[in-house]
Each structure stands twice: as structure tokens, then as C-alpha cells.
Structure 1
């Protein structure tokens, strides 16, 4: 079946910000390929929710930390595009999948560092490279960063450093892919109430209160505060936004 819909690929779309982004994108009339690592049932529930609002979606397994699986994943994307949309390309890549590890700089182990590096920088770098032949001209790439790349909160030295690398990488994507009309931007959430990083912001009342007090709008964020920003960057209204870092933090640590 042929469709004129745009298609976005969202990594880590089974829960949290990725799920919210996938649903927000679908509400813009854009179809979705979403990935999951272990949460297959949650991913299928997201697909069902997208279909319920009239969109089309598929869920594919992907471990973004394992580069040697990317060839097989790209083939799975190609197959899904052909089978579901009769297309050879998709339009937007949202590099959202990630984890949080809280550890002071002094206590950060090499294993923790490597885990964060593989998921948040190396995986994003090479997954984007691998999927580039399937990304349509005039399309877009949205990479997820963090407010912690602008301000420093103890415990996130390794995580925030990877995101700082992503912000630089995004500028290079914009520069090198501009000839194809492909835009590349960063969305940098502030503190968000999800299960990210073990749910610390959501479940630790004193941390939540502190972060809310440091935010101009007087509360921490929720997933609904972020998904719409990502979805906006997948629309024609955002066509002239390129190589930008858009922080969605409610005004943290101003």
C-alpha cells in the first residue's frame, strides 16, 4: 500500500520521552518506525496507540550500543519501509534511545564510561551513518542532548560529556548533509519525571523539589513537555531551523 505520509524513525520509542515523541509525531500526521531494546510489549502498545489515532507504525528491536548489529537493523528498516509503506526511504531520524548512570567523576568506572559512550555517542554516530542511505533528501535528524551539557550538576560528568559530543556532532551533520537538504538539530531536555536513570527525578522528593526551585517555571518537566518539541522539528514549520540546540527545560539554572 502506498502512502504520502512522512515517516520518522524514533529510537527508544517504547517508553518515556521516546514514546511521547513517537505519539506526538504521529499526531502531526507523520508515520513512525520505533525501536525497543527489551520492552517489546510496551513498544507494541505504542504502535497500537499510534494506530488508534489514525497513524501507521511498526516496532523493531535494536540495541543502540552494539554497532555490529546495525547492518541487520538497516535491512529490517528497509524491509519495513517496503512492506508497510512501499517506500525506500524515511524522512526523520530521532536519536533518542539512552540510559542514565549517576556517579561522581571520582567514582565513575571505565565500564560505566564505556556503557554511556557506546549508547550515547558511538552508537548514535554509527547508527546515523548506517541509516543515512535510507534517509530521504530534505529530511531531518534530531539528536537528544541534555541541559547538563550547559550547566553542571555533580554526578553526571560522563553522561553530560557524551551529550556535549553529540551537540558538536550535530553541527557537523548539518554542515556535511546540507547539500542534501537534510537538517540536524539538538533537543536538550532539562530534568524530567520519567523512569530515566532509575526514576530519580520522579521518585526522589527532595531532588524533585530542589530542581523545581532551580527552574523558572517552578516545576520539573514531564514527558509531554518534550515530545511536542521533537515533533515540531519534523514539520514543515521547522524547515529553516538547522544546527541549533533547543533546550526544553522550563528555564533551569538561569
Structure 2
């Protein structure tokens, strides 16, 4: 991975996105990270990235609002200019929301929200940013272990992540002529504030996950960020259209 490259990381103010930005910074890769509402946390990541070895900038973006993408692209171009660049090299479609709905409880509005953020947002943000990504660049989308195995109260989230995995293969096919590789990382349960901190803060849930994981514990953001950063590197240049599950061997 060459120093001086630039990555766009959506949802980079916390959890897996935060870990990714910091891993990239340690490799000399600059980041423009997005946040939805918590600018204070985003600013902390910017400061930590600088300490880790590479400057970063934070931009506000609601990935579920497709109408905002044109304005975001304009602000992104200004941010790139601030970094002395016209284009970027890597895109990590990480931002997301959780859902604990069952078949009986899920509503059309909740399903529409999941679709807007996790699928439609990924598709149309990538489409909008295609003129700004360098040929030979790399894209990583984020799925979930729940796309492979089923769990109660995830009837909206799991299937929409499975759709992201299919979308990844189609992206890889269409972007092949530009030598842009597209892969998908599928984390298992991670101890973050996602889902209201369920994995991190609920001992019973954490223990259940550990008991069903070959390596005997729940995941941490630091387990996933390095994998994403690695997939963006030249070391994985011939890996394309692949699903990498980062779950410690859960439900194998």
C-alpha cells in the first residue's frame, strides 16, 4: 500500500469504521471519514489518525439520503483539494444502522430504512463517486455474518446484508475494465455501541457469542479494521468479488 493514497470511509467516527481509519493511518493512508450526527467523535478520530501517521478529514453524510449525495460529492472534492488531490483511491462503504425486528414485528418503514442505508445508499453513493475514484482503486463493502447464518430478530438486517454481498459481485464485474476491485467483509458480532451496545454491554449475549465462536470470544473493532485495510492494499491486488467473513469461526 503506497503512502499518500486517500480512502473514503463512511461511518468512520466509531466502531469498525474508526478502527479502519486508524489502521489506514498507520499505513500512511489519508482518510476522509463521514459521520451522521456525532461530529465530536469524528473529530476525535481525525486527531487520532494524525497521531497514527496520516492526516484525515471528517464530513457529515447521511448515507440513507440519496438526495444529499450530489452535495456531498461537491464537499468531497473540496476536501480532496485540501489534501492536494483531485481523486481518491479507496472507498469503504461501512456506515450502517441496526435492526432487531422479527417477522411479526418488522414494519414497511423499518425495512425501507434498512434498504435506504445498507443497499440503496451503498449503490448510489458508489455510483456518484465513480468519477472521483482512481482507476486501479479498491472498494470494500460491509456485510455481516448474519447473511450466512440466521439469528432471531434479524429478519430485515440479515437479508439486506445478503443483498449487499450480491451487489458487491455485480460492482466487481462492472468496474473490472477500470481495474477497480470490489470485495465485501462480513463481520461477526462485534463489541461496539452498534445495536445499543448489545454485544459489548450485555454479559449474557457476550457469553452466548463466545460459546458459539471457535476462537472463544466476541469480536472487537480491532479485529476487523486491519482486514479492511489489508484488502485495500496491493498485497490483495488479485482478490476481487470475494466475501471475507471476520467472525472468529462463529457457527461453523
Q: What's the TM-score once normalised by structure 2's chain length?
A: 0.98
Residue 6 (structure 2) pairs with residue 7 (structure 1): yes
Q: Indicate the residue corresponding to 1:181 in structure 2.
A: 179
Q: SS of the residue aligned with 2:34? A: strand
Aligned partner of 1:226 in structure 2 is 224
Q: C-alpha separation between the residues in 2 aligned to 1:73 and 1:193? A: 30
The runs of 5 or more residues in structure 2 that have no matched partner are: none
Asked whether the 8 Å contact 2:3–2:27 carries over to 1, the reply is no
1:81 corresponds to which residue?
80
Displaced runs of 4+ in structure 1, greater than 3 A?
A: none
Tell me by how many angstroms 1:54 deviates.
2.3
The DSSP-based 3-state class of the residue aligned with 2:232 is: coil
Note the C-alpha offset of 1:53. 2.1
* Deviation of the 1:4 alpha carbon: 6.2
Separation in structure 2 between the aligned mates of residue 183 and residue 41 of structure 1, nearest angstrom: 33
Q: How big is the shift at 1:83?
A: 1.9
Alignment of 1:1-254 (within 5 A): 5-84=4-83, 86-254=84-252
When the two chains are superposed, the root-mean-square deviation of aligned CA atoms in Å is 1.1
On the 8 A contact 1:25/1:230 being kept in 2, the answer is no
SS at match of 1:233: helix
Q: Distance in 2 between matches of 1:89 and 1:171?
A: 24
Number of aligned residue pairs: 251
Q: Distance in 2 between matches of 1:127 and 1:32?
A: 17
Unaligned runs of 5+ in 1: none
Q: 2 CA distance for matches of 1:213 and 1:29?
A: 37
